[in-house]
Structure 1
Amino acid sequence: MAKDYISMIRGLVGHTPIILNTAGGILLNNQGQVLLNLRTDTHNWSLPGGYLEYGETYAQACVREFKEDSGLDVEIVNFMKIFDKGETRYPNGDVVQTINALYHVKPVGGQLLSAETDETVRLDYFDFDNLPPLLNQQTADMLAYAADYFNSKK
């Protein structure tokens, strides 16, 4: 049931706006750039991460979704903040308000995807002050928060 939870909910409510829980990770390279993935569904950029499956914790979802979106195995360094403002409208008509738990993560294995998958067109690192077109305002808010967070640690 866990893997098809969101599909099951959408089967019941159609495109009705719903609230969903998500988790995402901030991974920096040695130059202080953040890893983003170009999404197949919306063709814009977001942090690796995604929806919790039924029974999953935010931290578990972050690690699982990061692997799915990027190919990297990550470990959580620390929890950063909850973001709960705004909505996303997907090309298929689905509308969601996401409650996103943002984590700072570090790589512990795997390797960056080298080919397109069903969720990720490609991956790249970006400077916080030179970001590509983003999925939504919440993604922009998370990246702005992370930029301030890491700048305060210098």
Structure 2
Amino acid sequence: MAIPDFIVQLRYKIGHDPLFLPGVTAVVLKDVAEDAPLWAVPEVLLVRRADDGQWTPVTGIVDPGEEPHVAAVREVREETGLEVEVEALLGVGAVGPVTYPNGDVVQYMDTAMRCRIAGGSAGAQEVQPIIGDDESTAVGFYPISNMPRVSPRFRLVIADAVAQLKHPQGYVPRMGYRKRER
């Protein structure tokens, strides 16, 4: 897994102590064509992580000085070879803390966005992702009704992406991923 240089430099100074980082989740959807059967559902781009084998949307760390939407586009390109455009904010929330096998502790402030293949719907159905780096072992589009198993957090953000796609006027971005305590 490629650790950004700025994190390597920070870890040199702080060791394994908790680090708070900005992250992005890019939910890339291919909507159904207008002439598709009634039972057709959107497809979502998922990657299988090399470090833990989990299926997720494309995720990544925002570099210093980089805007989250730019980081989302960059991460999708690096991990899948696809060019995408960000269409909507899905939400912002804290993730973690996460303890990595080497002992590093990180908490992320994640910005989730819905993306589409760049250039509109023309030709988007034929676009095929590739494994673009060593962070993934598999990549592909999956119907949302028949996805590989994903964590509850990612199921929620994928459902939010479809809800926002289908009913943008009534969608309110989620602020926080954790269950609220009463």
TM-score, length of structure 1 as denominator length: 0.80
Cα deviation per residue 1:60-112 (whole Å; 9 max; x = unaligned)? 11111111111101111122211224333333332221111111111127851
Contact 1:83/1:142, CA 8 A, preserved across alignment: no
C-alpha displacement of 1:11: 2.1
The corresponding residue for 2:45 is: 35
1:26 aligns to what? 27
Which whole-Å CA distance do the structure 2 matches of 1:102 and 1:60 have between them? 12
The equivalent residue for 1:58 is: 68
Determine the structure 1 residue equivalent to 2:5. Answer: 4
Give yes or no for contact 2:44–2:141 (8 Å, CA) kept in 1.
Answer: yes
Match in the other structure for 1:112:
129
Q: Which runs of 4+ in 1 moved over 6 A?
A: none
Q: CA deviation at 1:41?
A: 1.5
* Residue 154 of structure 2 is aligned to residue 132 of structure 1: no
Q: Distance in 2 between matches of 1:127 and 1:93?
A: 36
Query: How far off is 1:16 after superposition?
Result: 1.9
* RMSD of equivalent CA atoms: 2.5
Aligned length, in residue pairs: 149
- The secondary structure found in structure 1 opposite 2:88 is strand
Q: Aligned partners of 2:152 and 2:105: how far apart in 1?
A: 14
Q: Please, which runs of 5 or more residues in structure 1 have no aligned partner?
A: none
Aligned identity (percent) is 29
| Corresponding residue number in structure 1 for 2:124 | none
Question: So what's the TM-score if we normalise by structure 2?
Answer: 0.69
Q: CA deviation at 1:122?
A: 0.9
Counterpart position of 1:78: 88
Unpaired segments of 5 or more residues in structure 2? 33-40, 120-126, 169-182
SS of equivalent residue, structure 1 residue 22: strand
